[in-house]
Amino acid sequence: MINHSASGTASVSSTAASEKSHHKKRVSTKQQDPNDIDHAPLYRVGQYYDSARYGRIKLRGIATRQNLTFNRKKLTTTINWAKICSNTPKTAEQRSNSASDYNLAQVSNPYTYLKVSYTVSNHFANPVTFGGLKQVELANSNILDGTDELVIDDGQSENLAAHSRHTFTIHVLVDKFTGTAQPQSVRLTFAGSKSAATLNSVSSGFSVSLPFTYDQHAHV
């Protein structure tokens, strides 16, 4: 009985020490990786974080042109930044969440997407219906309409109150159309906007070309 008890205590102690050592090793490894920032947003190429809803999201490329402003009469649109990101869903639920965003049955794993932030200021005295993204053209000449299921623009057809300012986000699933999922440039075309009351045109659209870099030192 004495030998059995001593052996059991030694075994538990050894296991606890092993688990503690393994935990320290994992924590140490994580602390040594400066690219694991544990949260959004991602600012520098190579950074990543683990999203409970989607999986591991990593920043792979950044547009070299940022904070571009386009004035169309009394409507001002600023392209704040554009990024190329990848996501690696790790669970069935994360794969389902990722696919449902684009109304797809499934997505590749990992998959790559374009993310654009833009801000619209309505300086008119009346509400305006913003046209939003009309078309996305990738460097390999593939073109997607703004209404395509692979394109998500939360500013499209939004009603903007008079003298208001709003920031919107665009997501485009790009690896359906690029072999390497690293487009060297993207051209965005925005539609014109209308009066929310009369539906008459109040401002024209515009286009912007965004070159991308995948340099590990690039940042927003």
User: Would you list the domain boundaries of the chain?
Assistant: 47-214
Instruction: Answer yes or no: are the C-beta atoms of 86 and 58 closer than 8 Å.
Output: yes
Please give the pLDDT value at position 212. 95
pLDDT confidence of residue 183: 86
Give the model's confidence band at 84: pLDDT under 50 very low, under 70 low, under 90 confident, else very high.
very high
- Direct distance between the N- and C-terminal alpha carbons of the chain, in angstroms, rounded to an integer: 66
Class of domain 47-214: mainly beta
> pLDDT tens across 139-197, in order?
667 889 999 999 999 999 999 999 999 999 999 998 766 555 788 899 999 999 999 99
Average pLDDT of every residue of the chain: 86
| pLDDT score of 16 more than 80 | no
- Distances 29 to 35, 37, 55, 56, 88 between C-alpha atoms, Å: 12, 13, 20, 17, 20
pLDDT at 171: 96
Cα 32 to its chain centre, rounded Å, is 25
The answer to whether the CB of 82 falls within 8 A of the CB of 114 is yes
